[in-house]
Amino acid sequence: KNEFHRDTWIEVDLDAIQYNISQLAGQLKQDTVIMAVVKANAYGHGYLEVAEAALEAGAEWLAVAFLDEALFLRKHGFTAPILVLGAARPDDAGLAAAHGIRLTVFSADWIRSAREFLEADVLHIHLKIDTGMGRLGFTDQNGLADAEAFASDDSLINIEGAFTHFATADEPDRTYADQQHERFLEFLDVFQQKPPMIHASNSAGAFLRDNSAFNAVRFGISMYGLVPSGDIRHEMPAPLKPALSMYTKMVQVKKLKQGEKVSYGATYTAGQDEWIATLPIGYADGWIRQMQGFEVLAGEHRAEIIGRVCMDQCMIRLPFEMQEGSVVTLVGEVLNDRILLDDIAAHNGTIHYESACLLTARVPRMYRKNGVIKKVFNHLN
């Protein structure tokens, strides 16, 4: 039985994941394929349980950043098509083909090199076009034409898809994304034979843009119930349910006398006699040092993180004496107060994508389905 022995844990509500997917499906043209983006440990939520819940809820593909993530999913029994969104080595083309893993290709030379490593299994590739993200993709039409010509002559290479990625789909001003959309259509006209799968949108594009020219979307952040950015929160066509919450418990509660110190560097001095609790979570869990000064919920009361955050622990100032073992909500709702990943991100001057991904494997994940905890994943046992 997978259990854990430290009172800090993440709870992932799989019903929320499934709800969010159904909310998206309701917005899309019939038969649009939903690719569940589960890269980076499913944005910190846990590869395996999220992938399973997403596929059960109607996502038909999985998408990851790197080949190792796809191989990991295959090793754990996932048979759905998987697209690697990032670069793979040409030498690994045979390995990917053998596992039905789709690779992203952005140069004809890559295909020529990869061809040497194909023997029996067909490699399915999605040609990525850089229409303005400036990250990965063909940047000129001749290169794309060259790649298509080479691949279409080869029975072991199947051009299954073409895609692009928006840099600003989560911004109110549509200008740049519209330009990317137009440039993508121009590149698509280069194909002698248009690939069967054409996709462009991430979560923001999927909810806010017209995807009728395409037949798949790559659904990441909003599958986890997070609005891509605050700037377009008011434009979102369907409500979402955040899937992740995180809790810990007070392992020690003590009264500090005025003038006494807390944590490394003794940088915090009690301004008066104060009740202090120690929490078993620190920066090695992704609860980074910048979290100093952030307020968590001790029971239903706001409590500030005081003194330096340690590798495995941190301290909070309580409004009054509380019982050791009391639950502290780090992300989640308590009565009529709540702490969101957005709040953590804002405190750290970042975005919730990063705050979620930083939650390390050391934090056990509990998975709730139909209201009950159905699985506990502790990577240490």
Ligand X SMILES: Cc1ncc(COP(=O)(O)O)c(CNc2conc2O)c1O
Which CA distances in Å does 114 have to 123, 236, 253, 318, 327?
Answer: 9, 41, 60, 60, 53
Q: Cα–Cα distance between 153 and 197 in angstroms, integer?
A: 19
Q: Which of residues 151-170 bind ligand X (CB under 6 A)?
A: 165
Strand stretches in 25-99, DSSP E: 33-37, 61-64, 82-84
Cα 303 from chain centre: 28
Cβ proximity to ligand X, 4 vs 187, nearer residue:
187
SS3 category, 45:
coil
Give the residue nearest to ligand X (CB): 220
Q: Which of residues 24-53 bind ligand X (CB under 6 A)?
A: 37
Q: Which of residues 207-226 bind ligand X (CB under 6 A)?
A: 218-221
Residue 57 half-sphere exposure toward CB, CA atoms < 13 A = 26
264 is a catalytic site residue: yes
Stretch that binds ligand X, among 187-195, 202-210, 257-265, 297-305 (CB under 6 A): 202-210
Site string for ligand X, 76-95 (x = CB under 6 A): ---------x----------
Q: Cα–Cα distance between 162 and 251 in angstroms, integer?
A: 53
Residue 318, both tokens: 């309580």
Stretch that binds ligand X, among 52-60, 175-183, 199-207, 241-249 (CB under 6 A): 199-207
Judged by CB under 6 A, does residue 202 bind ligand X?
yes
Q: Cα–Cα distance between 178 and 167 in angstroms, integer?
A: 11
Q: From the CB of 161, what's the least distance to ligand X, in Å?
A: 12
Q: Which of residues 332-371 bind ligand X (CB under 6 A)?
A: 353
Which of 228, 307, 332, 364 touches ligand X by CB under 6 A?
228
Residue 244, both tokens: 């992740």
Stretch that binds ligand X, among 76-84, 105-113, 196-204, 255-263 (CB under 6 A): 196-204
Q: From the CB of 121, what's the least distance to ligand X, in Å?
A: 24
Q: Specify whether the CB–CB gap between 289 and 309 falls below 8 A.
A: yes
Q: From the CB of 85, what's the least distance to ligand X, in Å?
A: 4
Judged by CB under 6 A, does residue 198 bind ligand X?
no
Q: Cα–Cα distance between 273 and 170 in angstroms, integer?
A: 47
Interface residue list for ligand X (CB under 6 A): 37, 85, 165, 202-204, 218-221, 228, 353
Give the active site residues: 39, 264
